[in-house]
Amino acid sequence: MLSETDSGPVTRFLELRIPPVVVFGVFALVMWLIATRFPVFDVIIPFRLALTVFLMGTAIITGTYSFYLLNQVKITVHPNNSTKSSQLVTTGPFKHTRNPMYLALSLILISWGIFLSDLLALMLMPAYYAYMTRLQIIPEERELCAGFGEDYKDYADRTPRWL
């Protein structure tokens, strides 16, 4: 669940350094550059616009509702301030994933890749998940576990990290 391998000083240094929205923006830009500069993997995706709209809508609803729930209990959404959380939110999207706002960003990236109709751009998603998991989510979980102890461990045991 919360275990991680011991990482080197460079990895530790990068933890929680780059805001998730910047990481999202970089991946979106790289996906666009791949699709426009190297259109080798252009494909026709059936129902491309419908899929894009559906995933984008799902992402917006999930992200907005998650933000609302955190705001209701006055918990910051700033990812570098998870130690300042006063309570765990385990309802709504948080009942199904520990990271609904990161999931929403990933759904937007997937919908962007589908809209671009480029398989190579979509193949960047595992790198996005790996980066976010190792350098953003695991350090946040470490802080939440330190702050909430067994309550967070129980929540993490019953709720998946992504989906």
Give the residue extent of every domain in the chain: 9-158
Q: For the chain, how big is the Rg over CA atoms in Å?
A: 17
* pLDDT > 90? residue 69: yes
Cα gap 80→103, rounded to integer Å: 18
**Greatest CA separation for the chain:** 50
* pLDDT > 70? residue 84: no
Is residue 78 very low, low, confident or very high in pLDDT (cuts 50, 70, 90)?
confident
User: Percent of the chain at pLDDT above 70?
Assistant: 92
Residue 104 burial by Cβ neighbours in a 10 Å radius (0-12, 13-18, 19+): buried
Mean pLDDT score of the chain, rounded to an integer?
Answer: 91
* pLDDT > 70? residue 135: yes
* pLDDT > 90? residue 100: yes
pTM of the model: 0.90
**What single letter denotes the amino acid at residue 44?**
I
What topology is assigned to 9-158 in CATH? Answer: Four Helix Bundle (Hemerythrin (Met), subunit A) (1.20.120)
Is residue 2 very low, low, confident or very high in pLDDT (cuts 50, 70, 90)?
low
Mean pLDDT of 120-130: 97
Cβ atoms 40, 119 nearer than 8 A: no
Cβ atoms 97, 157 nearer than 8 A: no
* pLDDT > 70? residue 79: no
Task: Tell me the CA end-to-end span of the chain in Å, nearest whole number.
Answer: 14
